[in-house]
Structure 1
Amino acid sequence: MKRNQLKILAIVLVAATSLAFTLKPVEDAAAKEEIQELILKSYVNGAFNGLDADAMRKGFHEDFAIYSPKGEAISKYPIKVWADGVAKRKANNYNAADPKNKWDHNFASVDVTGNAAQVKIELHNQGKHVYTDYLSLLKFESGWRIVAKVYHQH
């Protein structure tokens, strides 16, 4: 009797473990898709192709900043200043048909762990690789938001 109970327990544990490993990739895939959609709308099209400052404000957390080195210090460029600049640029005779205003992108990696994510995205303009960006995201009750960016300009 005891041996049968151990066999049943072993089977249940194997089944539970298998189910856990099966569900995780599905959850990760859904989160990755959500994140990529957010980045396309708020970042690629918001900050670059469409100059949509409202989409930026929705997709970026209000405490977001672009971090870059300035000597041995860190320079911070807040989302408010960036989004306001995008809105101003669009208002000043922005021509979406101009090839220099068309940015292509490549998601080099999207890594999700629970409510945190890191995205490496490459931006190209007129066939040239211009930026490699690393975007950090967090998932809030309201959904995913971009919280920080570091980058390399090629």
Structure 2
Amino acid sequence: MKSDIAEVEAVVWRYLHALHVGDVDALRQAFAPGSALYAAINGEATALAVEPWLERVQNRKSPEASGFKSQNRILSIEVEGDMAMAKVTSAFPPKRFVDYLSLVRTVSAWRIAAKTYHAEDIPAA
């Protein structure tokens, strides 16, 4: 029997891989219905429902298709009962992202309920 951490880790890796290759169907399966993405942009809190975000992902060239090697990493995972938090990092040059993923255990699987993220420019080498 898989541990909760292993199950959450598997979902998070699927999310990171799908993000890197631009697999919108896999991303849709990773998120719970009604999920949203949150960030502070120009000092203002912003929210975006998952479906409009998925349309953006679908209509852009993926990091993989752009020739970028995956820099995805899981930095931490914590599980408490039916909720979990994962901190991950990824890159889509010229930006590097840190995501905090809030997950909930549903009847069928762990799903991402919310994504809060920070984006910053990758320093020139």
- Report TM bin, short chain: 0.7 to 0.9
Report the aligned-residue RMSD. Answer: 2.6
* Structure 1 residue aligned with 2:88: 121
* Structure 1 residue aligned with 2:113: 147
Cα distance in 2 between the residues matched to 1:86 and 1:71: 22
Cα distance change on mapping 1:75 and 1:32 into 2, 3 Å: same
* Structure (1 or 2) with the greater helix fraction: 1
* Structure 1 residue aligned with 2:46: 75
1:110 and 1:119 in contact (8 A); partners too: yes
* Structure (1 or 2) with the greater strand fraction: 2
Q: Which amino acid aligns with 1:96?
A: E
Q: Which amino acid aligns with 1:80?
A: E
Q: Percent identity?
A: 28
SS in 2 for 1:76: strand
1:62 and 1:80 in contact (8 A); partners too: no
5+ residue gaps, structure 1 = 1-26
Cα distance in 2 between the residues matched to 1:76 and 1:137: 17
Alignment of 1:1-154 (within 5 A): 30-41=3-14, 43-47=15-19, 49-70=20-41, 74-89=45-60, 96=64, 98-100=66-68, 102-124=69-91, 130-154=96-120
Aligned-pair distance for 1:132?
1.4
Cα distance in 1 between the residues matched to 2:103 and 2:74: 15
Aligned-pair distance for 1:51?
0.6
Cα distance in 2 between the residues matched to 1:82 and 1:105: 19
Structure 1 residue ranges, 4+ long, deviating more than 6 angstroms after superposition = none
Cα distance change on mapping 1:40 and 1:69 into 2, 3 Å: same
